[in-house]
Chains A and B, each alone.
Chain A
Amino acid sequence: SAAARRPWKLFGAMCLLRLPRITQPLEKEEEEMAALMGQIELEKSHYSDHEIRKLEEEERLKRRKESLYDEDEAPGKTVVMAQDLEDKWEQKFLQFKAAPRITDADKSNDRTSLNRKLDSNLMLLVKQKIGTQELWLLPQVEWQPGETLRSTAERAMATVLGDHIQAKVLGNAPYGIYKYKFPRAIRTEDNMGAKVFFFKAFLQSKDLSQAELKADYLWVTKKELGDYLKLEYLKKVNRFLLD
């Protein structure tokens, strides 16, 4: 029957992504290739200014040691030798300490912190009550007529995390859709089931210390999604996730 009011309920869900902060470690072949290319480049390249200066100074030192005449080397000047510069730079480099790639949160496998898995995308999962069950899913909120789906999704994000998150939604088009019918007990003529539209947003701010409200949230990678989501839902969600 061609009814003007469709019997589907509409939901907008937001998939909040935290982009990776470090590049992923290279595969074995990639590392070998990189080493080979580096060596080829080194052998093909010319000397830089600093290296030419260093070689000249080494020659000068050698000549001074062998024969004791000075040959107007301008001995009055305190010349900073290239070797000294190199030593200074080496020392500075040794003092520098890089931040660890595998953080504490990784070791303790604390899935609620944002500092885990710095080299992959992290997604926000929330436990919400649908009908009678409590399920893990991407935060979703029902669509109200007169509102665009994108603002529904942004509202979903705001209800879970509070208003002060800096997340950027890139486009107005949804990334995926999940359709399900209600179980026969609740199904009526007007309420066949629900359609959930997924949107993607990228987290801009580094940490969310002020924002976390309701409990039961997790930040998971794509591989760990399988532990929490139901199969059908997972299939549709995996379709729009890049790794």
Chain B
Amino acid sequence: GALLGCHRSYRSRPTHGIGKFKYLLPKEAPKKRKDKVQMKEINAGTEYVYGDVNIQMTSYDLCLVEHFAQYVHKLCNRLSIRVNESYAMPTKTNEVLFLEERGSKMQLDAVLTTHQRVVQISGLSSTFAPILLEIIQSNQPEGVHLLVKQHTEADFKSRLKSRPELEELLAQMS
């Protein structure tokens, strides 16, 4: 008897589609593939506000670097610093070969992977920047290299892959 009182919002009922709201929102233009975002803020003057700053962390140990990047991200959230992006650079694999010459030449291989994580920040005031840097420096785990620098176009380009066919065609055209 209790189920008869349940009025599902079925298609024949007047309450059909009661929760819809997407028709009320403004229409979004479909996203283009090309993202050529270049933002540079005020850097000089009495009001020192840094533009985009990249905090790059590199290490051989994946878990450490990831956890540290997460920690830095959460720290910036807590301190209400705007984090633009937090991405990873492709890992580099190095093969270490030992050539020991003790009569018989031995080659011991070791495969090392270098991982890099980048947290991009904007809107850092210069009075606060040294404090933030000191906090990050003192909380660095062992084996993680820290690099803080301003975002340049070269950094942005290093994330994109080069397209050799496109470049060949462009060279042929011009």
Contacts and interface: CB of A to CB of B under 8 A. Distances in A.
A202 B137 contact: yes
Chain B interface residue number, banded: 10 to 19
Interface in B102-142: 108, 126-127, 129-130, 133-135, 137-138, 141-142
A200 B135 CA distance: 13
A150 B142 CA distance: 31
A19 B137 CA distance: 8
A202 B135 CA distance: 13
Contacts of A200: 130, 134
A171 interface: yes
Interface residues of A, number: 13
B130 A242 contact: no
Contacts of B130: 170-171, 173, 200
A172 interface: yes
Contacts of B134: 170, 200, 202, 242
A192 to B, nearest CB: 28
Contact of A171 (B126, B135, B141): B126
A121 B134 CA distance: 12
B138 A121 contact: yes
27 contacts: A19-B137, A19-B138, A20-B138, A22-B142, A23-B141, A23-B142, A88-B108, A121-B138, A170-B129, A170-B130, A170-B133, A170-B134, A171-B126, A171-B127, A171-B129, A171-B130, A172-B126, A173-B126, A173-B127, A173-B130, A200-B130, A200-B134, A202-B134, A202-B137, A242-B134, A242-B135, A242-B138
The 4 closest A-B pairs by CB, nearest first: A170-B130, A171-B130, A173-B127, A170-B133
